[in-house]
C-alpha cells in the first residue's frame, strides 16, 4: 500500500486480506503505508498499530484517539494534525514534523523523537515517559502539564516554551547512554516560562542548559515577559520601512520593544542580520524578504529558533509560508503595476500629442517579488491602445544603480516617461531626472509607498514625479505588531498562518488635498 493517497473523508470502505475498514471499525494495523498521502484525512480512532508510515503526509489529518503504538513515523509530516489522546507508545517519530499540531494528552512513552520539530505545538498533559527526545525542537510549544519522567532531552531546544504550573520534569532523563541518571545536558531553555525555580532544578545537570541571565527573577516576578520585535529596514533614508516602524511603535506598549534594524540590503546582509537577531533572542521579526527563494534559509533558522515571522509587502508561496511565518500583509502586486500602467496611458493621452509615446522602464525585477509589478504595467500598456515605445529597460537594486538611469536618459534624449517599479527604483529615477538636462521634460510615475519626501514632490507642480501608490503602510505596521504580540502571548495560534490583503490607491498631482490629509494623519517627521 505504499504511496496510498486518501482525500479528506468521513470513512474508508475497502478490504484487503485481513485489512478491514469501515465507518464503525477502522483497522489498518501492521499496514505498509510508506509515503502515503493522508493529508486532511479523518482517521479519528483508527488502529494503525505496528504500521509503517515512514515519510507519510499527514498534514491537517484527524488522528484523535488513534492507536499509533509501535508505528514507524520517521520523517512523517504531521503539521497541524489533530493527535489528541493518540497512543504513540514505542513509536518512531525521528525527524518528523509536528509543527502546530494538537497533541493534548497524547502518550509518547518510550517513543523515539530524535530531531523532531514541534514548533507552536500543543502538548498539554502529554506523556513522554522514557521517551528519547534528543535534539528535538519544542520552541514556542505548550508543554503545560506534560510529563517528561526519565525522558531524554539532551540538546533539545525548548526556547520560549511554556512549562506552566503543572509541567512535570522530575527525573527527566537526558543522557541517552545512561538511563539511571537524569539530566538536561545541552538543552536550550532560553525564554522558557517556568512555574518555579525548583521545577527545573529537579532535573540533574540543569546547570548545563542555556538559560536567560535573569531567569530566576522572571519566575519570582510572575509577570508577562518583555517582548522584542524587530523590523528589518534597508538603508534608504526615504523608505516605506520608516512608515512601517511608525505604525509598529504606535502598537507597542511598555512590555514590548520595537527594534528598527537598518542594513545595506541584499540577501547576504539580510541573512547576517537575521542570524544576529536569533543570537540576541529576538521574539519577532517583521520584514519584506529580499528574495522569495534565497531568503528562506535564514528565515527557517529564525523559525526553528522560535522567532515569530511576519512579512509585509510580500507573501511567500503558501506551501513555504504555512510552516514558516505567522502572517503576511500584502497588496496585489500585479494589480498595482496594472493600475499604474492604466494611469500612465490616461495621462499620456491627455498630455502628450506625439504619435509615439517613448517610455523607459526602471524596475526592481532583479528580485522576484517586484516582477509582478513589471508584468502588470506591461499588460496595461499593451491593452491601452496608445502607441507606447519602450526605449529601454533597466533593473535597480541599490541607490548606486542611479548610473543606469542616467545612462538611459543620456542614450534616449527623446524619452518622455519613466516608470519606477519599486520604492528604490522610484527614488533613484526621480533623483536621476532631477540631475539631468531632461528634468523639465521627463515625467516619473512611481510605484509603492507614500513617504513625506515623495508626497512633498507630488505636491510640487514642478516636480517630475506624477504618481505614487499609497498602501496604508502605517496601518500595516500597527496591525503586524498587534498580530505578533497576540501570537507571542498565546492569544491566537502561531501555527495558523494568516494572509491579510492590503488595499492600495493611486495618488497623483491631481490629488493635493488627499495627499495633504494623509500626511497630516500620519504625523511623520
HSE (side-chain half, CA atoms, 13 Å) at 338: 9
Q: What is the pLDDT of residue 222?
A: 63
Q: From residue 208, how far is each of 14, 184, 195 by CA, in Å?
A: 53, 7, 20
Element housing 215 (H / E): helix 215-221
Q: What is the pLDDT of residue 168?
A: 46
Q: What is the pLDDT of residue 21?
A: 43
Whole-angstrom distance, CA of residue 326 vs CA of residue 492? 10
At residue 433's C-alpha, the angle toward residues 427 and 439, to 5°, is 140
Whole-angstrom distance, CA of residue 409 vs CA of residue 432? 8
Whole-angstrom distance, CA of residue 11 vs CA of residue 132? 34
Cell digits of residue 28: 489498518
Residue in this structure with the C-alpha cell 537575521, named with its chain if needed: 274
Q: What is the pLDDT of residue 165?
A: 56
Look up residue 370 and give its DSSP letter.
G
Whole-angstrom distance, CA of residue 338 vs CA of residue 360? 16
pTM (2 decimals)? 0.80
- 8 Å CB contact between 189 and 172: no
Q: By three-state DSSP, how is residue 368 classified?
A: helix
Q: What is the pLDDT of residue 145?
A: 82
Q: What is the pLDDT of residue 25?
A: 53
Smallest CA-to-CA distance from 106 within 121, 130, 88, 133 is with 88
Q: What is the pLDDT of residue 451?
A: 72
Smallest CA-to-CA distance from 402 within 362, 437, 374, 439 is with 362
Cell digits of residue 438: 531632461
Q: pLDDT tens digits, residue range 313-371?
A: 889 988 889 999 999 999 898 999 999 999 999 999 999 987 899 999 999 888 888 89
- 8 Å CB contact between 419 and 362: yes
Smallest CA-to-CA distance from 38 within 56, 11, 16 is with 56
Whole-angstrom distance, CA of residue 354 vs CA of residue 351? 9
Q: What is the pLDDT of residue 18?
A: 34
Strands (E), 241-339: 256-263, 284-287, 308-312, 327-330
Smallest CA-to-CA distance from 28 within 67, 76, 75 is with 67
Q: pLDDT tens digits, residue range 480-512?
A: 999 999 999 999 999 999 999 998 889 998 888
Q: What is the pLDDT of residue 286?
A: 98
465's torsion region: left (phi>0), alpha (psi -120 to 50) or beta?
Answer: beta
Residue in this structure with the C-alpha cell 502538548, named with its chain if needed: 123
CATH superfamily of 227-330+475-490: Response regulator (3.40.50.2300)
54's torsion region: left (phi>0), alpha (psi -120 to 50) or beta?
Answer: beta
Positions in the chain short of pLDDT 70: 1-25, 165-183, 196, 198-199, 222-223, 236-239, 448, 518-519, 521-525
- Phi and psi at residue 142, to the nearest 5°: -95, 110
Element housing 95 (H / E): none
List, by residue range, all CATH 3.40.50.2300 domains of the chain. Answer: 227-330+475-490, 333-470+507-522
Q: What is the pLDDT of residue 198?
A: 67
Q: Enumerate residues 6+ apart whose C-beta is below 8 A from 511.
A: none
Q: What is the pLDDT of residue 512?
A: 84
Smallest CA-to-CA distance from 99 within 328, 321, 316, 327 is with 321
Whole-angstrom distance, CA of residue 55 vs CA of residue 39? 12
Whole-angstrom distance, CA of residue 281 vs CA of residue 286? 15
Q: What is the pLDDT of residue 415?
A: 96
333-470+507-522: CATH number = 3.40.50.2300
Q: From residue 304, how far is each of 39, 80, 155, 296, 319 by CA, in Å?
A: 23, 16, 14, 12, 17
Smallest CA-to-CA distance from 134 within 110, 117, 152 is with 152
CA 38 to chain centre: 25
Amino acid at each position: 500500500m505504499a504511496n496510498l493517497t486518501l482525500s479528506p473523508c468521513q470513512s474508508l470502505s475497502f478490504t484487503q486480506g485481513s485489512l478491514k475498514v469501515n465507518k464503525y471499525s477502522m483497522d489498518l494495523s501492521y499496514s505498509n503505508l510508506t509515503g502515503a498521502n493522508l493529508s486532511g484525512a479523518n482517521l479519528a480512532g483508527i488502529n494503525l498499530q505496528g504500521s509503517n508510515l515512514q515519510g507519510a503526509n499527514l498534514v491537517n489529518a484527524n488522528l484523535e484517539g488513534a492507536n499509533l503504538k509501535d508505528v514507524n513515523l520517521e520523517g512523517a509530516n504531521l503539521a497541524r494534525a489533530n493527535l489528541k489522546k493518540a497512543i504513540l507508545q514505542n513509536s518512531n517519530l525521528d525527524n518528523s514534523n509536528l509543527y502546530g499540531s494538537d497533541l493534548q494528552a497524547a502518550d509518547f512513552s518510550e517513543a523515539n523523537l530524535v530531531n523532531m520539530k514541534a514548533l507552536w505545538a500543543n502538548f498539554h498533559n502529554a506523556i513522554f515517559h522514557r521517551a528519547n527526545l534528543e535534539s528535538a525542537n519544542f520552541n514556542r510549544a505548550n508543554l503545560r502539564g506534560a510529563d517528561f519522567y526519565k525522558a531524554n532531552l539532551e540538546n533539545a531546544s525548548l526556547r520560549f516554551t511554556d512549562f506552566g504550573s503543572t509541567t512535570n520534569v522530575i527525573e527527566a532523563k537526558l543522557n541517552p547512554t545512561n538511563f539511571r541518571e537524569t539530566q538536561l545536558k545541552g538543552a536550550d531553555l532560553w525564554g522558557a516560562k517556568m512555574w518555579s525555580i525548583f521545577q527545573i532544578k529537579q532535573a540533574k545537570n540543569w546547570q548545563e542548559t542555556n538559560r536567560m541571565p535573569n531567569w530566576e527573577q522572571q519566575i519570582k516576578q510572575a509577570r508577562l515577559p518583555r517582548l522584542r520585535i524587530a523590523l528589518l529596514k534597508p538603508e534608504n533614508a526615504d523608505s516605506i520601512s520608516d512608515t512601517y516602524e511608525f505604525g509598529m511603535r504606535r502598537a507597542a506598549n511598555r512590555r514590548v520593544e520595537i527594534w528598527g534594524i537598518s542594513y545595506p540590503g541584499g540577501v547576504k546582509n539580510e541573512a547576517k542580520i537575521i542570524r544576529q537577531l536569533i543570537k540576541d533572542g529576538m521574539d519577532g521579526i517583521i520584514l519584506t524578504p529580499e528574495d522569495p527563494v534565497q531568503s528562506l534559509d535564514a528565515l527557517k533558522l529564525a523559525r526553528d529558533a522560535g522567532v515569530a515571522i511576519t512579512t509585509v509587502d510580500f507573501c511567500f508561496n503558501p506551501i513555504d509560508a504555512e510552516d514558516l511565518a505567522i502572517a503576511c500583509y500584502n497588496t496585489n502586486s500585479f494589480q498595482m503595476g496594472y493600475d499604474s500602467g492604466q494611469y500612465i496611458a490616461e495621462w499620456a493621452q491627455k498630455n502628450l500629442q506625439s504619435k509615439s509615446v517613448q517610455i523607459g522602464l526602471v524596475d526592481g525585477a532583479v528580485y522576484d517579488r517586484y516582477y509582478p509589478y513589471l508584468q502588470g504595467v506591461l499588460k496595461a500598456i499593451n491593452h491601452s491602445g496608445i502607441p507606447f515605445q519602450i526605449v529601454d529597460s533597466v533593473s535597480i537594486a541599490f541607490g548606486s544603480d542611479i548610473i543606469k538611469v542616467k545612462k538611459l536618459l543620456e542614450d534616449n534624449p527623446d524619452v518622455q516617461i519613466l516608470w519606477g517599479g519599486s520604492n528604490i527604483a522610484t527614488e533613484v529615477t526621480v533623483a536621476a531626472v532631477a540631475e539631468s538636462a531632461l528634468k523639465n521634460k521627463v515625467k516619473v510615475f512611481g510605484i509603492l509607498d507614500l513617504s513625506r519626501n515623495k508626497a512633498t514632490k507630488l505636491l510640487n507642480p514642478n516636480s517630475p514625479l506624477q504618481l505614487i501608490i499609497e498602501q496604508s503602510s502605517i496601518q500595516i505596521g500597527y496591525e503586524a505588531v498587534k498580530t505578533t504580540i497576540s501570537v507571542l502571548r498565546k492569544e491566537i495560534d502561531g501555527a495558523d498562518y494568516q494572509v491579510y490583503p492590503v488595499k492600495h490607491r493611486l495618488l497623483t498631482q491631481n490629488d493635493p488635498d488627499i495627499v495633504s490629509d494623509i500626511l497630516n494623519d500620519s504625523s511623520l517627521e
